[in-house]
Amino acid sequence: MTDPAERTMRFLYGLRSAGVTDARVLTAMERIDRGAFVRGIFAERAYEDMPLPIACGQTISQPSVVGLMTQALQVNSRDKVLEIGTGSGYQAAILSQLARRVYTVDRHRRLVREASEVFQALSLANITALTADGSFGLPDQAPFDRIIVTAAAEDPPSPLLAQLRIGGIMVLPVGQSDTVQHLIKVTKTETGLDYEEMRPVRFVPLLEGLGQE
């Protein structure tokens, strides 16, 4: 299965079978080669629907989960999006195809550097990657139309809820890292927050402070 066209077809078929049906999301995921974000011995498994190890003991999420989270986020072409948990940069790259601008934050300097190199190589000029503790969001760039968190917290961090624009959507996994986590979709309205529970997932934990290199 080395033929790239066949590989892409199978990759997209897998996404559709998992419930990723939004044409814009599928097009974005067809355009962005996941293989560019996986290094070393796992690179050959980049087109399988599974999470894979990346540097700093972290993981690149499963493509179907990336697809479902992106779909739930309902990104518009004029949106400013914040991602917490850059990791490999794959999720940010997908978002860059759908949004006006993407800010992505990781607590590991090395991951931010390596992801930035890939963004540059792929000419994804609307992504800004920064090293920071993302639990506090990015107050300087707030408010955001959309926020996605790709590491699990027990509850949605309140600074992130505060930095979401009214009418904005945030998608994140919540729950303790060693038990079942759920993806949730939070919509901010004039009167408060609406919560919708999606599917069970497993993410690495959202940790405090910067990572030790």
111 forms part of the interface with ligand SAH (CB under 6 A): yes
Instruction: Output 164 or 189, the one with its CB closest to ligand SAH.
Output: 164
What are the start-end ranges of the E strands in the chain? 52-53, 59-60, 80-84, 101-106, 127-131, 144-149, 164-174, 181-188, 193-201
Q: Is residue 108 involved in binding ligand SAH (CB under 6 A)?
A: yes
Number of residues that bind ligand SAH (CB under 6 A): 24
- Of the candidate residues 10, 122, 133, 185, the single one contacting ligand SAH (CB under 6 A): 133
Nearer to ligand SAH by Cβ, of 11 and 90: the residue is 90
Interaction between residue 141 and ligand SAH (CB under 6 A): no
Count CA within 13 A, CB hemisphere, residue 73.
34
Residue 123 is among the residues annotated as catalytic for this protein: no
Q: Does 63 bind ligand SAH (CB under 6 A)?
A: no
52 touches 39 (CB < 8 A): no
Residues whose CB is less than 8 angstroms from the CB of residue 153 and which lie 6 or more positions away in sequence, other chains included = 135, 172, 173, 174, 205, 206
Annotated catalytic residue within 61, 96, 116, 135 = 61
Residue 38 CB, nearest approach to ligand SAH (Å): 9
With CB under 6 A as the contact rule, which of the stretches 3-11, 56-64, 118-126, 181-189 interacts with ligand SAH? 56-64
In Å, how far are 34, 43, 60, 110, 119 from 39, measured between CA atoms?
A: 10, 5, 11, 14, 15
Residues labelled catalytic: 61
The residues that touch ligand SAH, with contacts defined as CB under 6 A, are 58-61, 84-85, 87-88, 90-91, 105-108, 111, 133-135, 150-151, 204, 206-207, 211
